[in-house]
Structure formats: structure tokens, C-alpha cells
Structure 1
Amino acid sequence: MSQAAVPVTDREAPPPAKLSLFTLTAMVVGSMVGAGVFSLPARFAEETGVAGALIAWAVAGTGMLMLAFVFQSLAVRRPDLDAGVYAYAKAGFGEYLGFFSAFGYWASTCVGNVTYWVLIMSTIGSVWPELGDGDTAVAVVLSSVGLWAFFWMIRRGVKEATAVNRIVTVAKLVPILMFVLLALFAFDTGVFADNLRGADYAGSLFSQVRGTMLATVFVFLGVEGASVYSRHAKRRTDVGRATVLGFLSVFAVFASVTIVSYGILPMAGIASLRQPSMAGVLEAAVGTWGRVFVGVGLIVSVLGAYLAWTLMAAEVLFVAAQDDDMPRFLRRANAVDVPVPALLMTSLLTQAVLIVTSFSDDAFDFALNLTSALSLVPYLLAAAFAVRVGTRAGPRAAGGGTSRREQAVAVLATLYTAFLLYAAGPKFLLVSFILYAPATVLFVMARREQGRRLFSPRELVVLAVSVAGAAAGVVALAAGWISL
């Protein structure tokens, strides 16, 4: 089949399918339940005990619920914005910050895909030592082969893989639910009590909670899944309902996985487990078959999730190019409607980060934390836009001014995402700037193609901040002040 590139806009697109509340809710659940949940036991045990974990989930659950309510409110108040997070940032704060939001969301998806390969290799590494924790040279080579195999498969038109998605959904949920049930049967109240206050290596309760925040952000990525497909909903109000229902379902699962693990092994023992740590906890509870059971479910789940998130990442660049916020070459698609240039850029960034992780102290934690840090800018801008809509509803805002409840929710969501930026610390913020600043080249290319002025005075301020942050990040890495 010919792979000649032709713009999608030159072909008549079929009418969008209309999605029910159940389907939209399933999209939210499917978007959020990925590799992160399999890593939760060790990620939490590295930082805190039961008390800190309960507080952390209460904070994260409340904060992310506020963010979910923000997407629910914006779906109703601004029905004209149907491209999700990226559209809100652009409408609220201009094209340049909208561009940063699109790029950050795309980059976080690419880096998140790296965690999938690291987890797969680490899982196989338990029986093939050459793969280590997913960060050895052999692991990177095999991950790269898989990465480009997916590129060529998707390029040939694997876009509507409904059968694969059904298998993936089962592979995700069955091992997780089985883990919770089996862990409850093996639950040791004495071990749980010993883990209540945490271990000697944990710091103050505040620092413990802060240390878990990026992990909670990572597992909740995808809470905006329904808003991405909002234009396909049968009823606009279903978008917000699906977001909240999906979030509450997943929140219950994530918190359960974390808490029951403290009743199986001492906190230090959980923290020392190789990723995916859920497999190690289940092995301690029921024997070797528990590790194999979780490992097989994880590999199937992660491969399917990788397919879905790679398509989503390419779609973000494609939509931004159609809106003239990315260069025109990114709006090209081949004869089977796959945006190949956007897909190629997605694969290239994933490959680059995959190589970088081999130089990090902990490949999985580095990729997870960087994914979370990159996603915070789009989330913060979306929440701040909701505050603007609440304080001065624009002419397109549906239903007039927002209620006091909606305004309070938007403020809380903004404060929460700002706290997450603080919790991320300077290391990952500076590394994020190293990615953000060079991306401005794409913005400049788009402006030149349109014959427009490159930067407004306000945009020059944003450019200066991003370049200064990138320069500080490079100096900090070179001087050894921060490390990967």
C-alpha cells in the first residue's frame, strides 16, 4: 500500500462517532490505569509509611478531584473548546503558552512511554539478569527495537485497534483486582501496624507526603481523557460525568493497591523490591506464581497502553499543527490517515529519553518523575483558565457566570497543581526547561510560515524565562549540582 503523504484536510472526514457515558468513562479509566499502578507499592514505601500514604492519597485524591471538576466545568462552560488541555491554555493565556501546553503534554506522553519499556525490561530482567532493572545496554537496545517496531506497525494503519484495547483492558484490571483480593487474604495486621509510622529513613511527615506527590500525578495522568474526545460525546454533560466517575473508580483502586501492600512486607522490604513492585509483593503473599501472574498481565497491559499513548501523542502534535500552533509539516498524514511526521517526532523523542535513562541512577523513577513534571504546566494552565472563566465569563461561556462552587474548585485545583510544581523540586523543573526552551523553534517555524511577528512583548518575557531556566538546568547538570 502506498504511503504517500497527503493532508487529512484534503479528504472528507467521516462524521464523528457519538460516544455514550459508559464509553467515555471507560476511556478515562483506560487512560489512567497503566504502568504506574504496578509500581505504587515500592514508590510509596521509599518515601512513607501507612500514615503518610493515607494523607498523601487524601491530598492527591482531593486535588485531582478538583482538577477533574475543572474539566467537568470547562466542558460545559466552554463547549467551543473541544481539544482538551491544550485548547484551554491557548484560550486563556495566548498562543505561546498554549504552544507550551501542547508541547508539554506531548513530551510528557513520550517520556511516559519510556517507563513502559523500562518496566517491561525490568519484569523480564527477573529471569534474564542481562536486562537488569531495565536500564542496561541490552535493555535499551531491545526497547529501541520494540519502539521502532511499533512505529512501523502504526505507520501502516493500526489506528482503530478495538480488539487490542479490549484485551488490554482485561489485562490491566484483572491482575490489579486479583492483587488486592489476594493481598487482603494474606494481610498481616502486625506488619501493617509496624509500617504505620514509617521507617527510620523517612523524614518528617510533610517531607514524606511531598515525596509521594509526583508518583500520584503519574498514575492520575489521563484524568482529562474524556475531554480529549469531548466533541464525540452524545451529550456534552457526559464528558464531565465520565471524568468524575472514572476518576473515583481509579482512585479507589490505586489507594487500595498501596495500602494493602503495607500488610504483606515491612516498609523497607517493599521499598527494596525491583519494579514492578506489585509483583514482588504478591510473590511474598502467595508464592512465585504471583510474580509471574502480575508480570504477564503487566506486559500485555503496557504494550497496549504504549500503542494508545503513542497515537495520542501524535494526535496532540497533529491537532496543534491544524490550529497553526505547530509547523505545517506536522499536519500531514499518509493514505491510511496516520500522521506520520507527528508519529516520527514522537518516536524520536521517546528514543532520546530512553537513551538518557541509561545514564540515570534509577531509570524508572527518573522517567516517572520527569513525566509528571512535564504534565504539570498543561494542568496548571487549564486550572488557571478555569479561574479566569469564573471571574470574568467570556461571551462564549455557556450559562453566564460560574457558580461560587465552581470558582472555589478552580482556585483549589490551581493551588494544588502549583503545590505539585513545588513538590517536584528544582531538579525536574530545570530538566523540563531544557526540553521546553528548544521547542520554541517549532513555534518560530509556525509563525514564519504564517508571515506573522515571531513574538509579542509578553511572549518575549515567557521566552526569556524558559531560556534562562534551560541555561540554569544545563549549568546545574554540568556542575553536578543536580544529577539524572
Structure 2
Amino acid sequence: MTTQHKPVRTMAMPVLASMVVGSMVGAGVFSLPSSFADSAGGLAALLAWAVAGGGMLMLALVFQRLAVTRPELDSGIVAYARAGFGSYLGFFSAFGYWASACIANVTYWVLIASTLGTVIPVFGEGDTWAAFILGTLGLWAFHIIVARGVSQAAGLNALTTVAKMIPLVLFIVVVIFGGFSWDVFVENLRGDTTEIGSVAEQVRSTMLVTVFVFLGVEGASVYSRYARRREDIGRATVLGFVSVLALFVVVTMLSYGVMPREELAGLRQPSVAGVLESIVGTWGAWFIGIGLLISVLGAYLAWLMLAAEVLFEAAKQDDAPRFLTLVNRRGVPISALMATAVATQIFLIVTHFSESAFDFSLELTSALALVPYLLTAGFALKEALGPRRWSGVLAIASVALIYTVFLIFAAGLKYVLLSLLVYGPATVLYVWARRERGLRVFTRAEVTVCVVSVVGAIAAVIALSTGAISL
């Protein structure tokens, strides 16, 4: 083991783009029909994608611009928060993103088990003990794969990215030419406002779903230290995002033309399988199920790599304990990778005891990612207002910041408190890291942030114990 290893810059633009697409196209796209129909009609769904797509496009452009203007800041989302707002908030960004990635990995194992549960009842809907054991075995198997080398794992991710698109393309073609009904689509446009609220309420209720499926847009920037050319990072980010956005919108909106909203909402996950099955029969569900397994395993691989990289970079910047900087002879941040596997195992246990394993892990994943996105947008705005003023960047950063603030509002108090329950205790790691290096722990402003996060964590514990909020 060593703490020094200079990465070989082997990732070309197509591989970086596959990291973006591979991270974003995973469990989420296969759950879109039911997840949207549960709380929104077709019109609200279209508006939600317009809001989320526009906001996330601004974030993608923020990552693109920062990759070029601040090339010394490797690892993207981690370094930007630290450069803009200091060590403690930089740690918050790194830890929140890492925790979000760990919980996202849990959703993959839940969905894998739920898919298998359609033919092997012992797996249920991903919430049985058999599902828990499958997830445990799977996460440690992938730990071993990534430990053998990041570049090799990235190449495998690129292959699975191509493979996972096949069933989704088939789904789109079959629905367009064999199952889409304009009358059904028009009937679903408005939705039952007495049941799911006004159009504005429907749009708000879908925001965490859109955040979840867009997670990974920063994938290329996180792996910037491996990029052959800095400009490839921004190109990969925008290319990957636009491609995936088009896919998400098409899959969601076409589903509203296949069956009534209430039936869509009642489909078990992965709901894309249920939609296709209603058109072509049982083989459609099987085909989507196989495609989902490939897609989810590929996305899991990408997210496992991203999570370890983020924690490793935080430790390199003196904001996480020094042992997390250890790398093995293949250049893999092995201690950070091990910490990621252990945390994923813990979250898998917590999720197993929640009321709805998939929905809970999806929404908590999204909520934890909001702080890193908020800080990145804030840093971009700060840069745009600096000595070199860029009017275009100023507008982009402003919209991105407004969008991330709106997302926190849309998440609601429950997920804000649950996020603080994760963030608050994490401060112990930050204090440990700063003291072992003999560095100042907090500035005056950071003390305030620390107090708020700890008080929020305590409030979350009280709310959970009294039943005010539940898992």
C-alpha cells in the first residue's frame, strides 16, 4: 500500500461520456412510469421535466465551464465547494455526495431483487431477507472488481452502457408503433387533481424523482484527474446529459399513452417492464428484466467508483482521515473503496427495515445530493462575480443556484432532517482529519454551520422517535 500514486490519464472523451451516461442510466429510468404516475398527470410530468431538465442543464453547463476555467481543481464537485466556501463545507459536499452514492447503490440492489422477485418469489419486491443477502453478496463482489483497477472498471462500464440501451430503445419503438393511444394520453394529461393535487403540487412532488435519475451528471468532472484533455470533461458532461434527458422524457411521456394513470401508478418496479408486458405479453417483462439487470449492474459499478473517488479526494485535501488516502498497487483508493462498501452495507440494513425500500432510498439519495449541487452552483456564481466577469456564466450559475434552492424546498422538511442526520455525525470525521494534521478545525462561520447541522441531526432523532417522521 502507498499514499502516493499519480493517475495515468487514460480516459478519452467517449469513456468520460460513458461515465456520465452509465451513472445516470441505471435503476431510475426503469422506474419512471410508475414513479411519475403515482403523483403526477401527463401535463405535470412534462412540466416537471422542463423544470428539472432546464435546471440540470444549467448545472451541467456549470460543470463544463468550471472544468475549463479552474483546471487545477480535480475531482470536480468536491473541490469546487472547498475552493468556494472553505474546508468544512468542502467536507460536507464530499461526504454528502459520497453518502448519496452509497445509498444510490442500495437502490440498485433493491431493484435487482425486485426484478428477480417476479420469477423467484422469495425476493419479493426487494424487501425480503433473501433480497438483503443478495445485495450483501453483490456489493462485496463488486468491491473486489473495482479493487483490481479503475481503468479496467471504467472500460467495463462503457460496455454495459451500450448494452443497457438496447432494451430501452426496443421499449420506445414498441410503444410508438404498437401500444401508444392518443386518447389514453390525452385522458392522462390532467390527472385527478382531487387525488394528487394541483398541477403545481404534482410538479413539486416529482422533483426528488428527477434529481435521482439525473444523479451522475457530474461523473466526468469527478474523474477529471484521469482525463486525457481538460476540455473533454465539459464535452462529455453536456453530451451525456442531453442524451439521457431525451431518453428520460420519451420513456416517461410514452407510458402515459399506454394505460390509465392509476394503472401506471400501481405497477410494481421496474414499471417499464409492466408497461411493455401490457403491449406484447410476458416476454416483454422478461426482456426488460434482463436489460435492467445489465443496466443496474453497470450503474452500480460506475457509482461505486465515483463514491470511492470522492472520499479519496476529500482525504487528499486534508478534510477526511489520512488513512483514506491509501491506494493499492493498481492505483485504486482501497481504503476509500472499503469505507464505501461498509457504508453501503449499513444503509442496506437500514433500508431493509423501511416501509418502502425503493422509494425511501431513492428520495434520501436525492436529498443528500442537494448540498453538493447547491455548493457547486454557488461557487460558479462566486466565480462569475469575481475579477473576470462573464455575463453568460453569471446567468447560468444564477439559474442553477435558484434551481437547487427550489429542490431543497421541494424535498420538504422530512428529507432535510434525515439529511442532517447523516451530515451532523459526519463532523466527527472532519474534526479527526484536521486534528491529526495539526490544522485549525473551524472558522467562526463554520462553527455556526456545525451547530446548525448537529441541532438538525438531534431534531431528526427526536422526530423519528416520536413518529413525527418515519422511514
TM-score norm. by structure 1 comes to 0.93
Match of 1:382 in 2: 376
Query: Which of 385, 390, 398 is residue 403 of structure 1 equivalent to?
Result: 390
Match of 1:172 in 2: 164
Shift of the 239–344 alpha-carbon distance from structure 1 to 2, 3 Å rule, reads: closer
Task: After TM superposition, list the pairs within 5 Å mapping 1:80-229 onto structure 2.
Answer: 80-157=72-149, 160-161=152-153, 164-185=156-177, 186-199=179-192, 200-229=194-223
Stretch of structure 1 that moved more, 95-104 or 436-445: 436-445
Shift of the 337–75 alpha-carbon distance from structure 1 to 2, 3 Å rule, reads: closer
Partner Cα distance (1:162, 1:390) in 2: 33
Shift of the 156–470 alpha-carbon distance from structure 1 to 2, 3 Å rule, reads: same
Partner Cα distance (1:113, 1:24) in 2: 20
Shift of the 94–232 alpha-carbon distance from structure 1 to 2, 3 Å rule, reads: same
Aligned-residue offset at 1:436 = 0.6
Verify the 8 A CA contact 1:8 1:337 in the aligned structure 2: no
Partner Cα distance (1:158, 1:241) in 2: 21
Q: What amino acid is the match of 1:183?
A: V
Q: What amino acid is the match of 2:81?
A: A
Q: What amino acid is the match of 2:183?
A: G
Stretch of structure 1 that moved more, 322-331 or 300-309: 300-309
Confirm whether residue 251 of structure 1 aligns to residue 238 of structure 2.
no
Aligned residues: 469
Query: Which of 344, 350, 365 is residue 344 of structure 2 equivalent to?
Result: 350
Match of 1:33 in 2: 25
Partner Cα distance (2:456, 2:384) in 1: 31
Q: What amino acid is the match of 1:198?
A: G
Partner Cα distance (1:308, 1:142) in 2: 19
Q: Give the SS at the match of 2:309.
A: helix
Shift of the 14–409 alpha-carbon distance from structure 1 to 2, 3 Å rule, reads: closer
Verify the 8 A CA contact 2:22 2:298 in the aligned structure 1: no
Partner Cα distance (2:149, 2:225) in 1: 23
Shift of the 435–419 alpha-carbon distance from structure 1 to 2, 3 Å rule, reads: same
Partner Cα distance (1:275, 1:159) in 2: 32
Match of 1:442 in 2: 429
Shift of the 311–243 alpha-carbon distance from structure 1 to 2, 3 Å rule, reads: closer
Partner Cα distance (1:342, 1:372) in 2: 22
Match of 2:360 in 1: 366
Confirm whether residue 475 of structure 1 aligns to residue 468 of structure 2.
no
Partner Cα distance (2:18, 2:147) in 1: 26
- For residues 344-383 of structure 1, what are the alpha-carbon distances to aligned partners after superposition, in whole Å with 9 as ceiling and x for unaligned? 2111111111111122221101101011000110000000
Verify the 8 A CA contact 2:10 2:151 in the aligned structure 1: no
Shift of the 119–83 alpha-carbon distance from structure 1 to 2, 3 Å rule, reads: same
Match of 2:325 in 1: 331
Shift of the 130–74 alpha-carbon distance from structure 1 to 2, 3 Å rule, reads: same
Stretch of structure 1 that moved more, 323-332 or 93-102: 323-332
Between Structure 1 and Structure 2, which shows a larger proportion of helix residues?
2
Q: What amino acid is the match of 1:188?
A: S
Shift of the 17–295 alpha-carbon distance from structure 1 to 2, 3 Å rule, reads: same
Partner Cα distance (1:142, 1:414) in 2: 39
Verify the 8 A CA contact 1:320 1:326 in the aligned structure 2: yes
Partner Cα distance (2:456, 2:110) in 1: 28
- For residues 87-143 of structure 1, what are the alpha-carbon distances to aligned partners after superposition, in whole Å with 9 as ceiling and x for unaligned? 000000000000000001101100000000000000011112221110112211221
Unmatched 5+ residue regions in structure 1?
1-5, 394-400
Shift of the 14–472 alpha-carbon distance from structure 1 to 2, 3 Å rule, reads: closer
Aligned-residue offset at 1:17 = 2.3
Shift of the 451–8 alpha-carbon distance from structure 1 to 2, 3 Å rule, reads: closer
Task: After TM superposition, list the pairs within 5 Å mapping 1:41-60 onto structure 2.
Answer: 41-60=33-52
Task: After TM superposition, list the pairs within 5 Å mapping 1:222-237 onto structure 2.
Answer: 222-237=216-231
TM-score norm. by structure 2 comes to 0.96
Identity value in percent: 58
Q: Give the SS at the match of 1:292.
A: helix
Shift of the 93–163 alpha-carbon distance from structure 1 to 2, 3 Å rule, reads: closer
Shift of the 25–356 alpha-carbon distance from structure 1 to 2, 3 Å rule, reads: same
Stretch of structure 1 that moved more, 462-471 or 23-32: 23-32
Match of 1:263 in 2: 257
Shift of the 82–341 alpha-carbon distance from structure 1 to 2, 3 Å rule, reads: closer
Verify the 8 A CA contact 1:99 1:325 in the aligned structure 2: yes
Stretch of structure 1 that moved more, 155-164 or 402-411: 155-164
Aligned-residue offset at 1:235 = 4.2
Verify the 8 A CA contact 1:67 1:410 in the aligned structure 2: yes
Query: Which of 214, 239, 248 is residue 233 of structure 2 equivalent to?
Result: 239
Unmatched 5+ residue regions in structure 2?
none
What is the alpha-carbon root mean square deviation over aligned residues? 1.6
Verify the 8 A CA contact 1:171 1:298 in the aligned structure 2: no
Q: Give the SS at the match of 1:195.
A: helix
Verify the 8 A CA contact 2:377 2:400 in the aligned structure 1: yes
Aligned-residue offset at 1:468 = 0.6
Verify the 8 A CA contact 1:159 1:311 in the aligned structure 2: no
Q: What amino acid is the match of 2:66?
A: L
Aligned-residue offset at 1:31 = 2.2
Partner Cα distance (1:282, 1:459) in 2: 52
Verify the 8 A CA contact 2:74 2:222 in the aligned structure 1: yes
Match of 2:62 in 1: 70
Verify the 8 A CA contact 2:7 2:226 in the aligned structure 1: no
- For residues 217-263 of structure 1, what are the alpha-carbon distances to aligned partners after superposition, in whole Å with 9 as ceiling and x for unaligned? 11111111222233444543332232222211111100000000011
Verify the 8 A CA contact 2:9 2:228 in the aligned structure 1: no
Aligned-residue offset at 1:25 = 2.8
Partner Cα distance (2:289, 2:215) in 1: 22
Aligned-residue offset at 1:342 = 1.3
